[in-house]
Amino acid sequence: MPKITKQLTDTEIKKAKPQEKDITLTDGNGLFLLILPSGAKSWRFNYLRPISKKRTKITLGTYPEITLAQAREKREEYRALLAQGIDPQVHRDQIKQAEQKQQEDLFISVAEKWKLKKAREIEELTLKKNWRRLETYVFPVLGEMPVSEILPKVVIDMLNPLQDKSDTLKRTIRLINEILNYAVNYGLLTFNPCSNVKEVFTFEKSKPNPTIRPEEVPELIYKINNSTSNLFNRCLMKFTLLTLTRTVESSGAKWSEFDFDKKTWTVPAERMKTRKKFTIPLSTQVLRIIEILKTYKQDETFVFYSSRAKDNTSSKQNINKILTKLGYKNLLTGHGLRSIGSTYLNEYEPFLSPDAVEACLSHGIKDQVRKAYNRSDYLEQRRKVMQVWGDYIEQCEKSYQPPAP
């Protein structure tokens, strides 16, 4: 006559006290409660593996988090699997793997991986703005969706409210496609079905950064020199104009980046939009500004030190604020300063090499065939070009006659 196992009761389980060694309370049909010396109570299921025919145990959870009734329910579920020749442990692992795979396939999970990649390629502030855009317009709808389920209709319906915000719409579509393309390259998708979603929308024509003609530079220099801005900001304005750099590059300039023997300034890759280090030959006019800044040096790290900023360096928006105060709102931006130089140098006679001029602006060669073979950085040619530009700015500073009051 087979041995009959007495079933456990909640009262018996609650009263059971830990001993120096493990205690086993059996409920029958493979289910038992293991009481450890620490006082922890753990449900286990003992069974014969279908293939190997060896006995093994599988943990069901702890008591009282898993009640007696729930433990029995799980036992019967596993016994039903065994009746079909399915190993409960293998079955549970397969479910976990499927859930993990489903989690990895979610748009938000792919976006997190994409973010890690982009962190090595673009400015931190730019990435922060892009991520905020995704949090605002994309994640509330697509975040918990598997990338395989994201189809054009879903994206179009989500983005329709942005039709009146042309720039935001365009940037958001670009971000979505970057992430879906990343999913393709990662092996989660065979192709990106949303690659042409932008064709559904109408966009305003992009407007270039406002700028002024080179002939208007004398008045600009006069206004800078006679502005109420402090010495550092006035020097920053002229330094940016003379070096033709982006505001983020000039405002964050560090003393360690300058080689005064070679008369160069090398901006490291992490501070360049192109993510490639860039060496700028310094004109005599730039070197004069540097000498002034050395005289009033306030910091051993940053050239344009700011005690108000968290990182002790001038903000890249500082130049735009100054230009607004000088009366150039909607007429000229910090980026527009580069356009003035580009216009003057491309119109300059005698003729200057277009490649050298573009190199001064840290622009690459657009022709892919020429780019593949031409690896020149045009440093010596740029030295001449930058001096031509510096001489023009000096001429502007000396020649301007303010209108009579």
Question: Are 57 and 43 contacting, i.e. CB atoms less than 8 angstroms apart?
Answer: no
- Please identify which of the residues 55, 273, 297, 371 carries the catalytic annotation: 273
- Please identify which of the residues 294, 363, 370, 371 carries the catalytic annotation: 363
Return phi, psi of residue 362, to 5°. 55, 35
Angle, CA of 359, 364 and 369, to the nearest 5°: 125
**DSSP-based three-state secondary structure for 146:** strand
* Positive/negative CA dihedral, 337, 343, 346, 352: negative
What torsion do the CA atoms of 159, 162, 168, 173 make, to the nearest 10 degrees? 20
**44 is a catalytic site residue:** no
**DSSP-based three-state secondary structure for 212:** coil
162 is written with which tokens?
Answer: 């942005």
**338 is a catalytic site residue:** yes
Which among 225, 213, 220, 219 is positioned nearest to 403, based on CA atoms?
Answer: 219
Residues 6+ apart with CB under 8 A from 237: 224, 229, 319, 322
- Please identify which of the residues 72, 238, 246, 316 carries the catalytic annotation: 246
Return phi, psi of residue 28, to 5°. 105, 155
123 is written with which tokens?
Answer: 């400015």
Instruction: Please name every residue paired with 146 in a beta bridge, in sequence order, or none if there are none.
Output: 106
**What whole-number distance in Å separates Cα of residue 37 and Cα of residue 48?**
27
- Please identify which of the residues 338, 378, 382, 392 carries the catalytic annotation: 338
**373 is a catalytic site residue:** yes
- Please identify which of the residues 335, 348, 384, 400 carries the catalytic annotation: 335
Neighbour tally for 232: CB within 10 Å: 19
**What whole-number distance in Å separates Cα of residue 312 and Cα of residue 243?**
22
200 is written with which tokens?
Answer: 């559904």
**335 is a catalytic site residue:** yes
**246 is a catalytic site residue:** yes
**91 is a catalytic site residue:** no
Question: Are 51 and 6 contacting, i.e. CB atoms less than 8 angstroms apart?
Answer: no
Residues 6+ apart with CB under 8 A from 317: 247
Catalytic center residues: 246, 273, 335, 338, 363, 373
